[in-house]
Amino acid sequence: MRSLTSVRPRGHLLPTAFLVAALALIGVLTVAQPGKAAAPTTIDNPSFETGNLTGWNVIEGQAFTNATVSSAAGWGWGCCFNPEGTYHLWGAATGGGDAPTGRMRSSTFTLAGTGEISFLLGGGNNLENLFVALHRVSDGAELMRATNTAFADSETLSRVVWDASAHLGQELYLEVVDTATGGWGHLNLDDVRTYTERSISQIVNPGFETGDLTGWTATGRAFSAAQVTNRTEWGWGCCFNPEGTYHLWGANNVSDNETGTLTSSSFTLGGTGEISFLIGGGNNLANLYVALHRVSDGAELMRATNTAFADSEAYSPVRWNAADYLGEELYFRIVDNAAGGWGHINVDAFDVADDVVGHEFDNAGFEAGSLQGWAVDGEAFSEATVSSAIETPDGEPFAAQGTYHLWGGALGDCLIGTLTSPRFVVGGGEEIRLLLGGTDDPEVYVAVESDADGQELARVGVGTSHETYEEVVLDLPGHSGKTVRLRLVDNSTTGHLNVDDVRNLTDGAVNSSFDGGSGTSAHDRGSVDNIAYVIDHAAGQRSTETSTRPCESSTGGAPQSTTL
């Protein structure tokens, strides 16, 4: 075999020594210039333990300076901050008090682990002007936002927990914003955690799906792994109706005369502060109950027994509003001090991670191509009414925003029903905008309702019947910061409703829905017939696809096929 250098090339032969040196240099350059490394999973100086803002980048203003990093335990007229470690960010630490404004950013991190992000937050409660936001590096998009909803006329820090698992693997950063200047117009921050291998906002084994008491601590003889069962009935009756496969049946393999306690792992209360679980067994608030306790002092905060007892082992739901304890470390204790008939308790499905409610909600413009996230009642709205049709039956552009929209007339006009959005918070602009079309009928409208009591706060209908979209505004003066739902109502058998691109006005600028796309303004038009058309992009021609309409359109005539 001949060596490479013994083969005469066309042209001059490079000396062997030179070739070896060149190859070595290329190797060095290759090693010295690797691809860009991923950002770490944690941020620099997450608890300000350097005693200054090292690792944080002040973008503008004087709200955040080295002087606002403090080791103070209290704030003069009260106590205590309860930080993690020695130092923390106290927005009012300097002589400027609440007046300074500004923004600062953390270093970049790659979200890994469970996807949970948490931090201690204090200061004022102002979601528009005083908040911590999560941003994506690639496009700067704001993904999540939190203010100090646990505010109680105190500087105390409370933990905020975000489930950001939808953004796992992405490079992100936090932005701390203070544009507030009035009373409590400052923000406190500490102990930012961007990586965790186990959620701090959930208990271990909340539904006993391990088939045993993993994560729970028992005392006495009332509770053991023998009470964890997958049975669906109790011999002389049915059904438990648990969530999942396993649940804790207090009378399984044990007498009602046995007593004891069962204690969960601890968790940090986040989200909205709502806690829920299933309970069964006897009704005895003094001796047979589930209690919520605080870790710091062991205090019992809430208690529930099976008040729905009806001589049955079946589960009933319990819901607690524990918002007063947001950010605190808590645990559950199940207590059985009862003896005799029905002296046992059944539990399942502890849920302590209700979602944080923000200004926006997913699928506000139906870009999922479905009704995902919306609650359906009746038949007027279904997956079949989520349409990608570009033109109305008369050949005019719908002028929808993005690819999909809600075309209530896709199946005709005879069906009635409602469609309700997820919860969201009214922005500082105190108005909601959306694209609306359909039938001018008092029984066809869009309403904003308070999540707390269901009260209708605003309503808008279709002013003049038109199938194409026009922007409408729901004014909500005095309701900034209120949690609401949007309800789409079609109670008419001769009309329908078209909706797209729901937007929430926050602090003077409209927040487009998460799934928004491009579109144009709509124009008024007339009635609708039974055939809709779409553009066949492959063929460049208008084509029809068929599905059965259950009823006639508002113009009458026999049911015909339509395109969805």
Q: Are 527 and 439 in contact (CB under 8 A)?
A: no
Q: Are 437 and 498 in contact (CB under 8 A)?
A: yes
Give the pLDDT of residue 386. 95
Third-level CATH fold of 217-351: Jelly Rolls (2.60.120)
178-187, 352-361, 384-393: least confident range: 352-361
Evaluate if residue 332 carries a pLDDT over 60: yes
Whole-angstrom Cα distance, residue 75 to residue 98? 14
Q: Are 233 and 384 in contact (CB under 8 A)?
A: no
Structure-model confidence comparison of residues 453 and 354, the more confident one: 453
Q: Which residue has the tokens 């890994």?
A: 112
Whole-angstrom Cα distance, residue 485 to residue 291? 31
Q: What angle do CA 303, 307, 313 make, to 5 degrees?
A: 110
Give the pLDDT of residue 12. 38
Q: What is the average pLDDT across 505-511?
A: 51
46-55, 238-247, 409-418, 551-560: least confident range: 551-560
Third-level CATH fold of 375-543: Jelly Rolls (2.60.120)
pLDDT category of residue 355 using cuts at 50, 70 and 90: low
From residue 411, alpha-carbon distances to 81, 399, 564 in Å are: 59, 20, 9
Give the pLDDT of residue 550. 63
Nearest one of 362, 290, 365 to 516, comparing CA atoms: 365
Does the N-terminal peptide bond of residue 238 adopt cis geometry, omega within 30 degrees of 0?
no
Nearest one of 268, 277, 283 to 320, comparing CA atoms: 277
Q: Are 162 and 118 in contact (CB under 8 A)?
A: yes
Polymer length of the chain: 564
Query: What is the Cα gyration radius of the chain?
Result: 30
Give the pLDDT of residue 35. 57
From residue 344, alpha-carbon distances to 195, 256, 300, 365 in Å are: 40, 6, 21, 49
Q: Are 519 and 402 in contact (CB under 8 A)?
A: yes
Same fold, 57-193 and 375-543: yes
Quick: pLDDT tens for 359-370: 778 899 999 899
Q: What is the average pLDDT across 495-508?
A: 84
Q: What is the average pLDDT across 152-157?
A: 89
Nearest one of 200, 196, 172 to 113, comparing CA atoms: 196
Please name the residues in contact with 289: beta carbons below 8 A apart, sequence gap of 6 or more: 303, 304, 305, 334, 335, 345
Evaluate if residue 99 carries a pLDDT over 60: yes
Structure-model confidence comparison of residues 548 and 80, the more confident one: 80
pLDDT category of residue 357 using cuts at 50, 70 and 90: low
Where do the domains of the chain lie?
Answer: 57-193, 217-351, 375-543
Compute φ and ψ for 223, nearest 5 degrees: -125, 130
Quick: pLDDT tens for 111-143: 999 899 999 999 999 988 999 999 999 999 999
- Paired strand residues for 190: 120
Using a 10 angstrom Cβ sphere, with 0-12 exposed, 13-18 middle and 19 or more buried, the burial of residue 95 is exposed
Whole-angstrom Cα distance, residue 40 to residue 169? 11
Which pair of structure tokens corresponds to residue 217? 């601590």
pLDDT category of residue 354 using cuts at 50, 70 and 90: low
Q: Are 133 and 164 in contact (CB under 8 A)?
A: no
Q: What is the average pLDDT across 488-498?
A: 96
Whole-angstrom Cα distance, residue 540 to residue 284? 71
Q: What is the average pLDDT across 140-148?
A: 91
Third-level CATH fold of 57-193: Jelly Rolls (2.60.120)
Percent of the chain with pLDDT over 90: 64
Whole-angstrom Cα distance, residue 63 to residue 101? 5
Using a 10 angstrom Cβ sphere, with 0-12 exposed, 13-18 middle and 19 or more buried, the burial of residue 463 is exposed
From residue 509, alpha-carbon distances to 123, 128, 503 in Å are: 25, 11, 10
Q: What is the average pLDDT across 440-468?
A: 93
Evaluate if residue 504 carries a pLDDT over 50: yes
Strand order from edge to edge, sheet including 345-351: 228-229, 247-249, 345-351, 274-281, 316-321
Whole-angstrom Cα distance, residue 430 to residue 231? 51
Nearest one of 304, 302, 295 to 346, comparing CA atoms: 304
Evaluate if residue 558 carries a pLDDT over 70: no
Q: Are 49 and 85 in contact (CB under 8 A)?
A: yes
Quick: pLDDT tens for 189-209: 999 999 988 888 889 999 999
Nearest one of 145, 146, 147, 144 to 165, comparing CA atoms: 144
